[in-house]
Structure formats: structure tokens, C-alpha cells
Amino acid sequence: MALLCMLHPKTCEKQQRCLELLRRSAREYYRQPDAKCTTWSYFTPFPPPKPGKPANPAIGGMEIYTSKKALQSQVDDPIYFQSYHDAVKREDLYEKPEELVAWYRAAGFEARSGGGKEGEGVLISISKMDCKDRQQVVEAITDFAEWVDKSEPFVLTYALFSRPKAPNEAVLFVRYADSKGLKSHSNAPEHVEVVKKLSKLLNGDLGKGTTLWQEVGDSFASTGDGSHGTESGRSKL
């Protein structure tokens, strides 16, 4: 089970305070097997704003748990989860309430080693899809994800999510080792072909539903990275 989060700090300074608290959780809690959280990644808008331009203090997050029960255990945790939200209220960090949407695995691979230090230079794309036939989209992504897994080691995560309450929706979550990896992936003939295929299966342009982010250094925690005994050191969805 995955939780896609969107946080709305009031200012850039309060954004940094939120990130400070989230990094502490990543270091001290989410890397522990008891957390039952296989992937925990937080990220900020990319590219960063140019000098003199208004900054966007938003924070995005993707948390993946072994089960709904594991997610509930995290929500009930008094030391990290509840104390974080206590600090948000006490210090008036948010402009508006955070957005949390639950998703479920559909295709792809969750995490594998690579990309140097955790979070350093890692870029993320999130593509929200309005599907004409979601099952056909899942099948297309499943086939392509197998090629990515074998051919593109600089793609660290390539995972598609869906949810029963929205039968036409899907979300593709991809992590790249760096901007070079993102460019290589986008320019690959195989990627161009799958985008053409998806364009016939979606309502609207895939590109318009895609946003880019930069992973926060020290935020990525994955107890699933290689711990499931897979030969290539990755956690399969």
C-alpha cells in the first residue's frame, strides 16, 4: 500500500523546518524493519526557482508500506508521526492541510541500489493518468517496466499505482539517479514507443499530467532495497 502525500508549508523557511523533521524520521524510524515501510521518499519541486522568482515551498512524498495495517501502525506512532504533526500545529507550519491519497501496487519495481548516495541528485517524475481502459495501461507499463529493469540501471524506481475508488486513475512514480538518467530514459526509442501506445489509452496528454521533483537528500529510506532476496537487489511490487 502506498501513500502519495502533498504538504503545503507557508514559507520556504517553514518548508525547511518540515524537511528537518522529516529527515529525522527517515534516519531514525523508517529505515528500521519494524517500521514495515519499504520505501519512504520526500521531494521538492524541480527545477528550483531562478533568483528573483517566487519559490514554491511545496513538499511531495511517497510512502510504501507492506500492508494497510503497517500504515496504521505508522499513524499511531507517538514518537515520530504524531510528534511531527504536533510540531506542525504548534509552529503553524502549513498554509493548508496536507493531501494524502492511498494507492495500491499495479506494476513495476519499487527500489534498487544505485545512484550514489541516497537522495543525492535523484530526480523524480510523477505522472497522473486518466485511463480509457486502466487494465490496458497496466499491461503496457508492465511490459515496459521489465525492459527498464533490465536495460536502465539509472532508473532506480519504476512503479505504477492504482486505487479501487477511482477505476480510471493511475499514477506512475519514477526515480532517476540524476538528470542524465532522466534524459537518457526519455530519449530511449523504447520509451518513445510506450508513450505513443499510452497516448491512445489515456484521456489527455501524458506530459501535461507529469511533474518533476528533486528528492530530498537523506529522505529516501528503503527497507525493501535488496532485503527481499531478489537477485538484482531490488524490491518487486
- Supply the CATH number for residue 215's domain: 3.30.70.100
Dihedral Cα 46, 52, 54, 57, nearest 10 deg = 50
Is 237 within a domain?
no
Q: Is the pLDDT of residue 17 over 70?
A: yes
25-78 pLDDT, tens digit each: 888 888 787 788 888 899 999 988 788 788 899 999 999 988 888 888 888 888
Q: How confident is the model at residue 119 (pLDDT cuts 50, 70, 90)?
A: low
- How many whole angstroms separate alpha carbon 223 and alpha carbon 32? 7
End-to-end CA distance of the chain: 10
Q: Is the pLDDT of residue 99 over 80?
A: yes
Least confident range of 6-20, 54-68, 113-127: 113-127
194-220 pLDDT, tens digit each: 999 999 999 988 888 999 999 998 788
Range of the domain at 155: 2-225
What percent of the chain has a predicted confidence (pLDDT) above 70? 90
- How many whole angstroms separate alpha carbon 142 and alpha carbon 139? 5
3 closest CA partner among 78, 81, 57: 81
Is 46 within a domain?
yes
Q: What per-residue confidence (pLDDT) applies to 25?
A: 84
Is 148 within a domain?
yes
Q: Is 28 helix (H, G, I), strand (E, B) or coil?
A: helix
Name residue 3's amino acid. Answer: L
Q: What per-residue confidence (pLDDT) applies to 138?
A: 97
Is 230 within a domain?
no
How many domains are contained in the chain?
Answer: 1
- How many whole angstroms separate alpha carbon 153 and alpha carbon 138? 22
Q: What per-residue confidence (pLDDT) applies to 48?
A: 82
Is 81 within a domain?
yes
Q: What per-residue confidence (pLDDT) applies to 37?
A: 85
Is 28 within a domain?
yes
Q: What per-residue confidence (pLDDT) applies to 79?
A: 83
Q: What per-residue confidence (pLDDT) applies to 120?
A: 57
Q: What per-residue confidence (pLDDT) applies to 233?
A: 35
Is 30 within a domain?
yes
Q: What per-residue confidence (pLDDT) applies to 197?
A: 95
Prior bond of 97 cis (ω within 30°): no
158-192 pLDDT, tens digit each: 999 999 999 999 999 999 999 999 999 999 999 99
Q: What per-residue confidence (pLDDT) applies to 115?
A: 52
Q: Is the pLDDT of residue 89 over 70?
A: yes
Q: For residue 45, what is the enclosing H or E element?
A: strand 37-45
DSSP 177: S
Would you say the pTM of this structure is higher than 0.85? yes
Is 208 within a domain?
yes
Q: What per-residue confidence (pLDDT) applies to 218?
A: 77
CB neighbours (10 Å) of residue 152?
A: 18
Q: What per-residue confidence (pLDDT) applies to 234?
A: 39
